[in-house]
Amino acid sequence: MNNNDTSNTENISVFEPINIGGIKQWISIKGQNIKSPIILFLHGGPGSPLIPVVNHYNSILEKHFILVQWEQRGSGKTYNKSIEKNTMTIDQFISDLHEVIAFLKNKFGKEKVYIIGHSWGSALGMLYINKYPNDCYAYIGTGQAINLNEAEKISYEYAFQMALKDNNKKAIKELKQIGSPPYSGKNDKIIFKKYTTQRKWLTEFGGQFYDKKNKNVGMKLLMSFKEYSFIEKMKYMKGLKFSQTTVGKEYLNLNLFNEVKKVDIPIYFLIGKMDYTTPFELVQKYYDFVQAPYKEIIWFEKSSHSPIFEEPDKFNDILINKILKDTVTR
């Protein structure tokens, strides 16, 4: 993309690669007014871009922001089997993110951006604002990751107790077989299988999606997403597995109670009341712990891990009519 290609237009809609961290990484930029502030969405996973989902449920944001979605190293269209595993580190992702933000600030002549982090992306977001606070107006975390080892234990226990309550013999058997995390095994494939088994039952019992019908939303929208070729749609799952078995290992040892005790910008946590993927109780404890010039936690009563599409109208309204207005006037 040409850094000067916005000079004669008031809107923008592109989905193209840029050179970040020595490789081509894809970003989507959509906005109805290039003078609007930039809001950068950091997807979860690792390895789970949500461009089709965000485009479907949160397109109203384009009226008020330049909405940017970045398909991270190893994810979506950015996934490439030539990406070296030793580059899949949190430090490298933070470095990549710094380059993405520098590119956006230069392209649009902005001093700062807003960051939304979801799940794994919320861990990146908190680490980033801790290191580069001057890049951001505010941070918004949803499905906020805090202490991953503790989170996995809480998630497992919730799923197991719900299996007992429902007398779901298959769930009880499978959850007993994998045991409580941290998971171990002879190879990454076995560990990944245990993780996905736990998530399967967590989803069944409402800890990942408040309404189970939402569990297929992402895949349905991905399959109909015209910006992905058929081959890229098939590669999506390869990128997810690659990311989970590389940087995912380091992610599982993250603990924000140790890593980020204080930040210098406003932070907002938009949290599902039934989230047992990144458990809401840990978010509440961290919210009480972390120091910030301004902080607020907003609860979504009919959401689990993803208020961004489980309660999109409320989510969008808070971004536009609360956070944007608050940070402009603060």
21 φ/ψ sector (left φ>0, alpha ψ -120 to 50, else beta): left
Does a structural domain hold residue 178? no
Does a structural domain hold residue 119? yes
Does a structural domain hold residue 268? yes
CA atoms within 13 A on the CB side of 46: 27
Does a structural domain hold residue 210? no
Does a structural domain hold residue 154? no
Domain tally, the chain: 1
Q: What is the pLDDT of residue 187?
A: 79
CA–CA distance from 250 to each of 24, 89, 93, 113, 114 (Å)?
23, 7, 12, 27, 26
- Pull the structure tokens for residue 63: 């009226």
- Tell me the C-alpha distance between 170 and 165, whole Å: 13
Range of the structural domain that residue 311 is part of:
12-148+249-329
- Contact predicate 47/73, CB 8 Å: no
- Pull the structure tokens for residue 326: 């608050």
Residue-wise pLDDT for 290-329, tens only, equals 999 999 999 999 999 999 999 999 999 999 999 999 886 5
DSSP string, 146-200: -BHHHHHHHHHHHHHHHHHHHT-HHHHHHHHHH-SSSP--SSHHHHHHHHHHHHH
How much is the pTM? 0.92
Q: Where are the alpha helices (DSSP H) in the chain?
A: 51-57, 90-108, 120-131, 148-166, 169-178, 188-204, 217-223, 230-244, 247-251, 256-259, 280-289, 307-310, 312-318, 324-329
CA–CA distance from 125 to each of 70, 168, 325 (Å)?
13, 38, 21
Q: What residue ranges of the chain have pLDDT lower than 70?
A: 1-9, 328-330
> What is the CATH number for 313?
3.40.50.1820
Q: What is the pLDDT of residue 319?
A: 98
Among residues 202, 135, 192, the alpha carbon closest in space to that of 168 is found at: 202
Q: What is the DSSP letter of 294?
A: S
Does a structural domain hold residue 320? yes
- Contact predicate 251/90, CB 8 Å: yes
- Tell me the C-alpha distance between 305 and 249, whole Å: 20
- Tell me the C-alpha distance between 320 and 298, whole Å: 14
Does a structural domain hold residue 308? yes
CA dihedral 47, 51, 56, 57 (to 10 degrees): 60
- Look up tokens 């384009």; give the residue: 62
Residue-wise pLDDT for 185-223, tens only, equals 777 778 878 888 998 999 999 889 998 888 888 889 999
Does a structural domain hold residue 166? no
Q: What is the 3-state secondary structure (H, E, C) of 243-277?
A: HHCCHHHHHCCCEHHHHCCECCCCEEEEEECCCCC
**What three-state secondary structure class fits 281?**
helix
